[in-house]
């Protein structure tokens, strides 16, 4: 099975037909898709003016989308290296039991679903790399009360997500599933209160 880098080479190869180059970019998202596969594809198409179903997109736009994806992947791989080093030090110091932060990281290993968007059509508009840098900064700082991707304060607890975690706090602004470790306990409690209020207004 081809890896991310070999697929990226196919995307850039002018000798390949455009349908294959587009297909290779879609396959890249099986290896790295911060918002989830469908939402990341929608994001790249929106930012680089490509039609999601166009089988022969402008090659310049196709490569620009790949450039954005690769830059974000570099950001995430750097973070994962630092994370692995930290866990090694913690284990050396006798801290073997992972906490809630590590539980979140386990589900996002490899960068898929790092800033998961449960609704594929709702995702941040900023470049992927910028969003990941903001997210990493928030993970390395004290918990706060706002979405790290867009600074929106309205975060809504959402049930019945399509995969693990099956529920959690979703930003009402940019649509990402906010990692619980970046939110204070008060912000998490408020997200659940907003959810209950929304349900009550529907009833």
The predicted-structure confidence for 135-163, as pLDDT tens digits, reads as follows 999 988 999 999 999 999 999 999 988 87
Tokens 């081809």 appear where?
A: 2
pLDDT of residue 196: 56
pLDDT at 52 over 50: yes
The span from the CA of 195 to the CA of 174, in Å, is 17
| 161-198: b (≥16 Cβ within 10 Å) or e | eeeeeeebbbbbbbbbbbbbebbeeebbebbeebbeee
In this predicted model, which residue has the larger pLDDT, 31 or 87?
Answer: 31
The span from the CA of 29 to the CA of 73, in Å, is 11
pLDDT of residue 200: 47
pLDDT of residue 160: 84
pLDDT at 95 over 80: no
The one-character DSSP state at 51 is: -
pTM: 0.88
């Amino acid at each position: 099975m081809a890896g991310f880098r070999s697929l990226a080479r196919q995307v850039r190869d002018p000798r390949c037909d455009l349908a294959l180059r587009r297909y290779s970019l879609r396959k890249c998202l099986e290896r790295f898709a911060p918002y989830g596969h469908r939402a990341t594809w929608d994001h790249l198409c929106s930012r680089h003016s490509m039609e999601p179903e166009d089988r022969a997109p402008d090659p310049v736009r196709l490569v620009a989308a790949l450039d954005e994806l690769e830059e974000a992947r570099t950001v995430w791989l750097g973070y994962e290296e630092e994370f692995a080093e930290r866990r090694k030090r913690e284990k050396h110091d006798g801290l073997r039991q992972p906490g809630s932060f590590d539980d979140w990281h386990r589900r996002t290993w490899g960068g898929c679903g790092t800033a998961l968007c449960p609704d594929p059509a709702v995702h941040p508009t900023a470049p992927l790399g910028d969003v990941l840098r903001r997210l990493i900064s928030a993970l390395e700082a004290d918990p706060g009360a706002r979405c790290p991707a867009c600074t929106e304060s309205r975060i809504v607890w959402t049930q019945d997500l399509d995969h693990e975690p099956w529920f959690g706090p979703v930003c009402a602004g940019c649509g990402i599933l906010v990692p619980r470790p970046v939110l204070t306990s008060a912000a998490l409690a408020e997200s659940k209160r907003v959810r209950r209020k929304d349900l009550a207004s529907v009833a």
